[in-house]
Copies of this chain bind each other. A is one copy, B any other.
């Protein structure tokens, strides 16, 4: 590309830092786009170098979803803001039963961010995108002055196509439906919090950050009648179940003993004063399905690597209050409410 022929040396990805010119729309920004984003994400749409990507779609339903990622710190056990921004947005596409087609990425960078950190994040993001088979086809870069941001924020948007016959939505839970989750709860949030609080769990606890569209494709193929799918991210299982109960106008009964939680997560939660049901997950999903299909779906989920710890954790009931109630491990019963305050700021 001529841009490169006419300018000076390559960017210094070893010792350089992002400055305001990298967001200015001129030569420095063009260089960053060439040497980092086009180089790493490496796909035809991006190589077109237009302000928009062009994609072929079939007639039907397209889903669109967006998420801003502001996680702190930028790197954590099991991932970083880059891989997280790919996984999280793919998952929101997948939760409609849709096949993800493409991602866009908007980078808001604080002046002074080491170019080495930015490159490491973009490489990780590109690796996550390639592993998932969902390209980052277009993007944008802005730089704000030092002290007006916090290293890096990324907003990713995803689009996908919904297969014919699939209709999955948060308002479709019905009394008698079974509630399943695809694995252990709280891994992501506790991994990040342990790092922040220097609890020294780094060697054992990792974020569960993962792209779930492969698991969802298997689930939809086996049980097309799935009613709801949602990933319990911020606010955790408790808040997400409350969202779904409220949206569908139903109540829920779950059993504490059936909710898989890692021993290390349980221990860290005790130390940190957290309830694992409110802690964020980034590679897990909740499925609500007609009761009679639950066992079949469970076996399909368990046979996928990302669903091996799946469990049936409860049922949907009639309840004009739309309460989520939990039978505790001690045989009691308690209402599991929405997250009230802010338990874990900047967890995603």
Nearest CB of chain B from residue A105's CB, rounded to whole Å:
7
CA distance A55 to B62 in the complex (A): 5
CB distance from A228 to the nearest CB of B (A): 9
Check if A150 is an interface residue, CB within 8 A of chain B: yes
Enumerate chain B residues within 8 angstroms of A65, measured Cβ to Cβ.
51-53, 104, 138
Checking B3, B95, B155, B157 against A64 with a beta-carbon cut-off of 8 angstroms, the contacting residue is B157
Task: Assess A66 versus B26: contact at CB under 8 Å? Given A51-B92, A92-B52, A96-B54.
Answer: no
Chain B positions within 8 Å of A321 at CB level = 2, 6
In this assembly, does A48 line the interface, its C-beta being within 8 Å of a C-beta of chain B? yes
Q: A25-B234, A171-B49 are in contact. Are A59 and B59 (CB under 8 A)?
A: yes
* Mask of A230-255 contacts with B, CB within 8 angstroms, 1/0: 11011110010001011101000000
Chain A binding surface, main DSSP class: mixed
Say whether, besides A24-B235, A27-B338, A96-B52, A64 and B138 are in contact (CB < 8 Å): yes
Q: Are A155 and B345 in contact (CB under 8 A)?
A: no
- Inter-chain CA distance A245–B144, complex, in Å, is 29
Binding site for B on A (CB under 8 A): 1-3, 6, 19-21, 23-30, 48-70, 72, 92-93, 95-96, 98, 102, 104-108, 137-145, 147-150, 153, 155, 157-159, 162, 169-171, 230-231, 233-236, 239, 243, 245-247, 249, 278, 280, 321-322, 337-346
Could you list 27 examples of A-B contacts with CB < 8 Å? A2-B245, A2-B322, A3-B338, A24-B235, A24-B342, A26-B234, A26-B339, A27-B337, A27-B340, A29-B235, A49-B247, A50-B95, A51-B65, A51-B230, A52-B96, A57-B59, A57-B60, A66-B139, A68-B106, A68-B107, A68-B108, A68-B141, A72-B148, A108-B108, A142-B153, A144-B346, A145-B346
Known: A49-B247, A62-B62. 8 other contacts (CB 8 A): A24-B341, A24-B345, A52-B64, A66-B139, A66-B157, A149-B149, A157-B157, A159-B159
